[in-house]
Structure 1
Amino acid sequence: MRYAKFIGKVACLLGFITALFANPAEAKLTVVTTIPDLAAIAQEIGGEKVKVQSIAKGYQDPHYVEAKPSYMVQVNQADLLVYVGLQLEIGWLPLLIQGARNPQINPGAKGNLDSSKAIQVLEVPSGELDRSMGDIHPEGNPHYWLDPRNGVLIGQQILDRLKLLSPKDGAYFENNFKTFRDTLTAQIADWEKRIAPFKGIQVVSYHKQFEYLMNWLGFSAVGYVEEKPGIPPTAKHLASLVDLMKERGIKIILIANFTDPKIAQLVAEKSGAKLVVLPTSVGGEEGIDTYSKLFERIVSELEREFKQLQAFNVQRPSVSQP
């Protein structure tokens, strides 16, 4: 009952704001995204014809975002809602959609875009799932924006939807998308060339969020600091992980910059490895204000760390090693 009254009050506020600021003659398309990477891509394609806002910030864990009334206001004003899908935002996005009372962005409406639909999803689980397995995503790993090749696919979907919502600006959107696609494709070739000498390197990761990045660049994780996704690891698991790292000569632990590094740092110290902190979204670190700058920062960091492995003559495990 209290929640229903709260939603009712928010709806009244949204109606007032809509009437106050509506100006169809001059309005740009309002695009609201769940993460800043989608916002950055939408901005490059929409250009001056769109107003883009992201709910989550680049330094936040997108799994855990508070469904604030201010976000409901943003979603209420949206002509297009773009989200990651694969249940990444399941804990908060449905509440925002319900509270926003905006039929244009409800599931199935042309203003609702699940950008995972064009993606070849990794790690889709099979068999029966239950909560004892941790925070398993039943539709597959949702961190697909960390492969820039998927950024092109995301951009194509956003282009198609913007053209549907504003046909008169279709040629403008097409031209912007072509520039985005061609520029990113050239950058992808450069990034792949820089990391190519290090293919086959094995690392440990804190959480299963770098799978698309590793699949793209050709290195892999032999283990994870988390024993189960979203659940703090046990001492037994950490001891086993340290033993594995020593046995295989694993010298790098990857962790997102929004994750508490204490446990991972302890593993690094006990195993003789280095903790490598990476941004995972646009806005995650100072100076990362575009999608391509995110990958330039990530690739530069990985390139530097991999070169140091070679400089210190650390054995590189083979991919085929059991």
Structure 2
Amino acid sequence: MKKHFGTTLRRAFGLVCLTLSCFLQGAETITILTTTTDLADITRQITGELAEVSSLCDGREDPHALTVRPSFIVKARTAQVWVRVGMELELGWEPPILRDCRNRRIQVGSPAHIDVSEAILPLDVPQGEVTRDQGDIHAFGNPHYWLDPLNGRLAARFIAARLAKLYPEHEAAFNTNLARFLNALDARMFGEPLVNCAGGARLWQWLLAGTMDNELGKLPGAVKPGGWYAALRPYAGAPVATYHRSWIYLLQRFQLSLAGELEPKPGIPPSPKHLHQLSESFQAKGVRIILQEPFYSPKAAALLAARLDGLKVLVCANSTGGGAGAGSYLEMLDQVISALAGALKE
């Protein structure tokens, strides 16, 4: 009798332990490490409280030239998921971090290594051989794709899909959070009334097809576009200069013209000769704005602004956390687009 009771007790205890183990495993917080703050914020919107998301970049530095610190390797060692921009943005610092962390789970090619560039619409993809004489050219295209809101949308959908494969028990939560984020992004892009009327996905389709005006005319009522689209739409074709070729995605999405770059080649500081040529070119084109990241020297832009009447320098964060008013991915786009619209209106 005692032997039978002991066996039953052990079985019951084992069942309780197994149930508790499964519960704890299901309730475990996922540890996700991203390379940039923009990907961190987008990922955080998708996971909610299901994950602890951190970023290696803080948004205030040049992501091309991040210095590897021991703390990065420590973070990578315990990460369950790695999310990167890709397109060689992290080429100078990702390999040593992944090598030294010795975390097989997040190595390139593994399911938990998420390269978001696989899902976006790339620009500046080189044709032909790429050499160092061309400057800091990326063989797979320009990696600053997050500055196009559409690529932010594509990135969110891709991250959610990959996380759902890794953690299928959370797929419903990921999809719910994803829908909420996409709706918020679409409302910022086109205005909430228009999104409620036509749907965000349909508006993006019309924009990409070049049929927006025609389709809007078919909608019932008098709902007009708002948001970022309406803010910059009146200035389509306006020339904007930049310091680095970071802003091409943003400019193309809103049909603004890239009038020139202060860097003669990507990653090469401007020379006096190049600045003189730009001065003449900007005057001929009627350029009134230089858009620049906060981590580059402001001297060249200030010199051109002093030479040309009416030329304004906008120093804006191009990553989440890179400046005041850029606390989230959507807020970062808000402050850049608001600054551009305000400067173009003057």
TM-score by length of 2: 0.80
Counterpart contact for 1:65–1:92, Cα < 8 Å: yes
Deviation of 1:254 (Å): 0.9
Give SS of 1:245's match. Answer: helix
Counterpart contact for 2:84–2:116, Cα < 8 Å: yes
Aligned equivalents of 1:186 and 1:276: distance in 2?
25
Aligned equivalents of 2:29 and 2:172: distance in 1?
16
Larger Rg: 2
Identify which of 216, 237, 244 aligns with 2:274. 237
Deviation of 1:302 (Å): 0.9
Distance 1:200 1:101, change over 3 A: same
Considering only aligned residues, what root-mean-square deviation do their CA atoms show, in Å? 1.2
Identify which of 254, 269, 280 aligns with 1:217. 254
Aligned equivalents of 1:91 and 1:275: distance in 2?
30
Aligned residue type for 1:214: L
Aligned equivalents of 2:334 and 2:56: distance in 1?
24
Deviation of 1:103 (Å): 0.7
Aligned residue type for 2:249: Y
**Looking at both structures, which has the greater relative contact order when contacts are Cα pairs under 8 Å and sequence separation is at least 6?**
1
Counterpart contact for 1:205–1:253, Cα < 8 Å: yes
Deviation of 1:25 (Å): 6.8
Aligned equivalents of 1:250 and 1:287: distance in 2?
26
Which residue of 2 is the match for residue 228 of structure 1?
265
Give SS of 1:63's match. Answer: helix
Aligned residue type for 2:252: N
- Larger CA deviation: 42-51 vs 240-249: 240-249
Counterpart contact for 2:88–2:140, Cα < 8 Å: yes
Which residue of 2 is the match for residue 296 of structure 1?
334
Identify which of 307, 316, 320 aligns with 2:345. 307
1:160-192 superposed Cα distances (whole Å, 9 cap, x missing partner) = 121122111111111000111112112111210
Give SS of 1:226's match. Answer: coil
Counterpart contact for 2:89–2:143, Cα < 8 Å: yes
Give SS of 2:64's match. Answer: coil
Which residue of 2 is the match for residue 70 of structure 1?
71
Give SS of 1:60's match. Answer: coil
Which residue of 2 is the match for residue 12 of structure 1?
none
Which residue of 2 is the match for residue 85 of structure 1?
86
Which residue of 2 is the match for residue 58 of structure 1?
59
Which residue of 2 is the match for residue 139 of structure 1?
140
Aligned residue type for 1:292: L
Aligned equivalents of 1:196 and 1:281: distance in 2?
23
Q: Do residues 283 (structure 1) and 296 (structure 2) align?
A: no
Which residue of 2 is the match for residue 18 of structure 1?
none
Which residue of 2 is the match for residue 112 of structure 1?
113
Distance 1:237 1:287, change over 3 A: closer
Give SS of 2:108's match. Answer: coil
Aligned residue type for 2:123: L
Give SS of 1:230's match. Answer: coil
Which residue of 1 is the match for residue 102 of structure 2?
101
Which residue of 2 is the match for residue 200 of structure 1?
237
TM-score by length of 1: 0.86
Aligned residue type for 2:109: G
Deviation of 1:24 (Å): 5.1
Question: Which aligned segments of 4 or more residues in structure 1 are displaced greater than 3 angstroms?
Answer: 23-26
1:8-54 superposed Cα distances (whole Å, 9 cap, x missing partner) = xxxxxxxxxxxxxxx85753111100100000000000000000000
Instruction: Specify every segment of 5 or more residues in structure 2 that has no aligned partner in the other structure, as ranges.
Output: 1-23, 191-226
Which residue of 2 is the match for residue 255 of structure 1?
292
Counterpart contact for 1:243–1:271, Cα < 8 Å: no
Which residue of 2 is the match for residue 270 of structure 1?
307
Aligned equivalents of 2:46 and 2:26: distance in 1?
22
Aligned equivalents of 1:25 and 1:149: distance in 2?
33
Identity level (%): 38
Aligned equivalents of 2:120 and 2:159: distance in 1?
13
Q: Do residues 191 (structure 1) and 228 (structure 2) align?
A: yes
Aligned equivalents of 2:164 and 2:128: distance in 1?
40
Which residue of 1 is the match for residue 44 of structure 2?
43
Aligned equivalents of 1:86 and 1:239: distance in 2?
33
Aligned equivalents of 2:240 and 2:282: distance in 1?
9
- Larger CA deviation: 55-64 vs 261-270: 261-270
Give SS of 2:41's match. Answer: helix
Deviation of 1:226 (Å): 0.5
Aligned equivalents of 1:236 and 1:139: distance in 2?
30
- Larger CA deviation: 97-106 vs 122-131: 122-131
1:43-83 superposed Cα distances (whole Å, 9 cap, x missing partner) = 00000000000000111110011111110111111111001
Q: Do residues 34 (structure 1) and 72 (structure 2) align?
A: no
Aligned residue type for 2:335: R
Aligned residue type for 1:80: V
Counterpart contact for 2:325–2:335, Cα < 8 Å: no
